[in-house]
Structure 1
Amino acid sequence: MHERYVRGMDGRENALARRHIISAMLYAAEHQDELLRACATVEGDIASANAAIRKAFDVDVIQADAILTMQVRRFTPEAIQQLRVELSDVEAVLSP
């Protein structure tokens, strides 16, 4: 997942980066209507869609990019549950 972002990081940094991305993807998946509204109002290119998502979800460029690259199958209930489990696993790694 977004290897350019996590390449060269140690285990904790990698987990923090994964949590950063997964939390945004999970939020978007749980708020599909809001995501579609934000994207439907865009006039322009991918950069415009990225900006609309950043504004709608108060996320950064990396998180918005992760949301934009999500496939439709990520919005199924099972896939959303998998994101929750993955986020929980990452949180467990980060816990002292």
Structure 2
Amino acid sequence: MIVTSESGAKLLAEAYRAKWGEAAAKSILDSWYNKSHPDDPRKPSFLVVKVPSETQTQSKFKKQVRSVMSSSNESMSDMPVVEATCGTRSHHYR
């Protein structure tokens, strides 16, 4: 799934809030409203939501919510990975 607008990011955050809690929702909105890297010239143009896989278990997004969710009973094993893209100087997909 690709999210290309603020309203889409808010809708995705609400879905994550319902399934994985407040920390997951906050991470979605933080990804939308903030630069991925401090030296990026702009905020992301879109968010890419990917099906989780073994190679993605250490993603930046999951690291952001891991400490907050570790005290809850929610599982992150089925949480899709969200990547903020197109805010860098180079438009090559990371």
Same topology, TM > 0.5: no
User: TM-score if structure 2 supplies the norm length?
Assistant: 0.28
Larger Rg: 1
User: TM-score if structure 1 supplies the norm length?
Assistant: 0.28
